[in-house]
Amino acid sequence: MKFTVVWVPLAEQKLARLWLRASDRSAVSKAAYEIDAFLKTSPLSAGEARSSDQRLLHAAPLAVRYSVSPDDRLVKVVDVWWYPTRA
């Protein structure tokens, strides 16, 4: 069963700023797409639990913090930031 993924306005704005500042915009776009794909299909097993309702997911070069409402089949992305890759 699929979940609906919603980026709260602040997270959307931060993602837009990260994309504008990125030296590789296609990597940022790809990571955002991968995050959405993971969260639509398996938000409770993707990423790492941080508190009772918060989880973290990394898809370089991004990381997001999100919450899941299983009863509503809803995922809310509440924050996004750079997640550096290691060489």
pLDDT at residue 44, rounded to an integer: 92
How far, in Å, CA of 25 to CA of 66, rounded? 22
CATH code given to domain 4-82 = 3.30.2310.20
Q: For 24-80, how does the pLDDT look when each residue is reduced to its tens digit (9 = 90+)?
A: 999 999 999 999 999 999 999 988 998 878 999 999 999 999 999 999 999 999 999
pTM confidence score:
0.92
User: Tokens 């930031």 label which residue?
Assistant: 81
Assess whether pLDDT exceeds 70 at residue 86. no
DSSP state of 21: H
Residue 1: its pLDDT value, please?
80
pLDDT given at position 51: 80
- pLDDT of 87 reads 53
